[in-house]
């Protein structure tokens, strides 16, 4: 059984947009913000995004996140 302490032990950070479709202004792509955690090659936190329809996850700087889609009953992260 996992707990919030387990997540913190993985160096993940909370972010209000996790689970939402956001814009990555560095690439111009949109994706679902899956996590905020250190990149494998550095200790600095980055945003981990996944394409909406599936595909290869990518990382970007936290400062590159913009324009989250509004939360609706169909897209609320708690419902997913």
Q: Confidence band (pLDDT; 50, 70, 90) for 64?
A: very high
Average pLDDT over residues 47-62: 94
Residue 9 pLDDT: 46
Segment 26-43 mean pLDDT: 92
Contact 44, 36 (CB under 8 A): no
The whole-angstrom distance between residue 22's C-alpha and the CA centroid of its chain comes to 8
Answer whether residue 1 shows pLDDT above 50: no
Alpha helices in 1-80 (DSSP H): 4-9
- pTM for the model stands at 0.76
């Amino acid at each position: 059984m996992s707990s919030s302490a387990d997540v913190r032990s993985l160096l993940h950070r909370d972010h209000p947009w996790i689970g939402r479709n956001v814009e990555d202004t560095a690439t111009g792509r949109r994706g679902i913000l899956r996590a905020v955690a250190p990149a494998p090659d550095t200790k600095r936190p980055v945003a981990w995004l996944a394409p909406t329809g599936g595909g290869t996850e990518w990382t970007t700087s936290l400062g590159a996140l913009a324009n989250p889609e509004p939360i609706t009953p169909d897209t609320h992260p708690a419902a997913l």
